[in-house]
Each structure stands twice: as structure tokens, then as C-alpha cells.
């Protein structure tokens, strides 16, 4: 039996990749499987929370008791996030959001061209920074940081620049951890504190993250 540390709380979690269309058949995306975000949703439900899960396209099954919103692009993620975040006690951005999208989506399938093709990309909105900037009904805002080098300093930079309350950093250069694996290792950062969570299953790590979050709500 787990203690219902999150009873009465609403937690909104984003998970999985975004897909940025280039034309009707092609897109830019990344290797996020949704496993980390879905494990967070399971853990929050197990602790008694009401869970909104906003998910990019993944192949795994969502927890039955989560309220699922499916999105594809970063812009769709932003719309869903702003609506649900303002009704939540906490918002966790675990989705791997594309930083850029195509400047224009071709209406027809792009034709093969010469030996080189140049795509023009434009910056996507920063979803979690927009949530953290809410002036009314701002939830406790938790980011993730996927880094391949200087993990601590980049993660702490994102904590500050995006005005988050907490960030969970993972070193995604390590074989068998991070994207698409069943395992991970995390360092949690707050503005004046940090906590290392050693390598383990995403399920166990998710429960540790949720327990730390519950102490702060
Ligand atoms: O899905 P899995 O296969 O289980 O893999 C898990 C994971 C590695 C994807 C996950 O643990 C993780 O690190 N997720 C965040 C990935 C990411 O996009 O990190 P980032 O460092 O680029 O972004 C930092 C934070 O800003 C994140 O909370 C991200 O959701 C958010 N962000 C980023 C860009 C953007 N335009 N909007 C955002 O909200």
C-alpha cells in the first residue's frame, strides 16, 4: 500500500516526442518513446493524484485512469498545456519538444530535387517557459533537461532561464539510459538544492520524483 501523498492534487504531465510536419508524408521528430512521462503519470496516479497526460505520438499504452490529450506539434502541445496547466497544482514537462519547425508546411509531397536540399526552420514556442510565466494560477513547474555534456550546468541554466521550480536532468549520451530505454538516472535540481537519483527503472525513478514533488506542493 502506498500513502496517497498526492490526494486532491491535479498534475499535468507532457510526454513523448513532438512531430513537426514538412509535407503530408514527412516530419521532424526525435527518439522519445514516452516511457519516462508515462511512468510519471502512473506514479502520480498511484499516489492519488488526478492526472492529465498530454502526449505526442508513442506506441505505449496510456494509464487507464489518466485523462489523455493527444498532440503532434509543439504548437498543439502549447495550446493543450496552457489550458490544463492553469487548472493544475503541478506541471511536469517531460515531452521532448522540437525546438524548431518548418517555416512552411508544403501542401503537396515535396519533389526530389538536386543533390542538396535546404530546409528553413523557425523557432517553436517554449512550452514550459510559457507555463512558468503564468501570472494567475501558475502551477509548481517541473522541467526535464536532456543533455549530452555539462549536464549540471546546462540543467541549472534551464531551471533559471525558464523560471522553473525544479528540473530533472538526464545524461542522454549514456548507453542504455534516457531516450527509449526502460532505465534512466536523474539529478533533480531546485534553486538551492540537488538530489542524485541513481540508475534504475523509469518506474522507480518516477516514483522518487513524485515523492519529492509531493513534499513541495
Ligand atoms: O520518452 P523516453 O524515451 O522515456 O525518454 C525520456 C526523455 C529523455 C525524453 C526525458 O527524460 C527528457 O529528458 N525529456 C525532456 C527532453 C527535452 O526536450 O529536453 P530539453 O533539455 O530540450 O528541454 C528542457 C525542458 O524544456 C523540457 O522540460 C522540455 O519539455 C521543455 N521544452 C523544450 C523546448 C520547447 N520548445 N518547449 C519546452 O517546453
Query: Could you tell me if residue 108 is inside a domain?
Result: no
- Give the domain CATH number at 67: 3.40.50.10300
Query: Could you tell me if residue 172 is inside a domain?
Result: yes
Q: Kindly state if the Cβ of 95 falls inside 6 Å of ligand 1.
A: yes
Number of domains in the chain: 1
Domain that holds residue 68: 10-100+119-216
pLDDT above 70: percentage of residues in the chain: 100
- Does position 1 have pLDDT exceeding 80, yes or no? no
C-alpha cell at 191: 534553486
Query: Could you tell me if residue 65 is inside a domain?
Result: yes
Over residues 75-90, the pLDDT tens digits come to 999 999 999 999 999 9
30 a catalytic residue: yes
Which numbered atom of ligand 1 lies nearest the CA of 162? 26
Check: CB of residue 36 under 8 Å from CB of residue 92: no
Grade residue 172 by pLDDT with cuts at 50, 70 and 90.
Answer: confident
Q: Kindly state if the Cβ of 124 falls inside 6 Å of ligand 1.
A: yes
Mutation test residue for ligand 1: of 31, 71, 96, the one with most atoms within 8 Å of CB:
96
C-alpha cell at 107: 501542401
Rounded Cα distance, 38 and 15, in Å:
7
Rounded Cα distance, 216 and 212, in Å:
7
Model confidence pTM above 0.90: yes
Of all protein residues, whose CA lies closest to atom 24 belonging to ligand 1?
Answer: 145
Check: CB of residue 29 under 8 Å from CB of residue 18: yes
What ipTM score was computed for the predicted complex, to two decimals? 0.99
Q: Kindly state if the Cβ of 96 falls inside 6 Å of ligand 1.
A: yes
Over residues 98-139, the pLDDT tens digits come to 999 999 999 999 999 999 999 999 999 999 999 999 999 999
Rounded distance from Cα 64 to ligand 1 centre (Å): 24
Binding-site residues from annotation for CTP: 93-95, 99, 109, 125-128, 144, 158, 162
CB within 8 Å of 30: residues ≥ 6 apart: 17, 96, 98, 179
Amino acid at each position: 500500500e502506498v500513502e496517497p501523498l498526492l490526494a486532491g492534487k491535479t498534475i499535468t504531465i507532457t510526454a513523448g516526442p513532438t512531430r513537426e510536419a514538412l509535407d503530408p508524408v514527412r516530419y521532424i521528430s526525435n527518439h522519445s518513446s514516452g516511457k519516462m512521462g508515462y511512468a510519471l503519470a502512473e506514479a502520480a496516479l498511484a499516489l492519488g493524484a488526478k492526472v492529465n497526460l498530454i502526449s505526442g505520438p508513442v506506441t505505449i499504452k496510456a494509464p487507464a485512469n489518466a485523462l489523455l490529450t493527444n498532440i503532434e506539434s509543439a504548437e498543439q502541445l502549447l495550446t493543450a498545456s496552457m489550458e490544463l496547466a492553469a487548472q493544475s497544482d503541478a506541471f511536469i514537462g517531460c515531452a521532448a519538444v522540437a525546438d524548431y519547425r518548418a517555416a512552411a508546411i508544403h501542401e503537396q509531397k515535396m519533389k526530389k530535387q538536386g543533390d542538396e536540399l535546404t530546409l528553413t526552420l523557425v523557432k517553436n514556442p517554449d512550452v514550459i517557459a510559457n507555463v512558468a510565466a503564468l501570472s494567475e494560477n501558475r502551477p509548481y513547474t517541473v522541467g526535464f533537461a536532456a543533455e549530452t555534456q555539462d549536464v549540471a550546468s546546462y540543467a541549472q541554466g534551464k531551471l533559471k532561464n525558464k523560471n522553473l521550480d525544479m528540473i530533472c536532468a538526464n545524461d542522454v549520451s549514456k548507453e542504455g539510459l534516457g531516450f527509449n530505454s526502460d532505465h534512466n538516472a536523474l539529478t533533480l535540481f531546485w534553486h538551492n538544492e540537488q538530489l542524485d537519483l541513481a540508475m534504475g527503472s523509469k518506474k522507480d525513478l518516477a516514483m522518487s520524483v513524485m515523492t519529492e514533488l509531493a513534499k513541495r506542493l
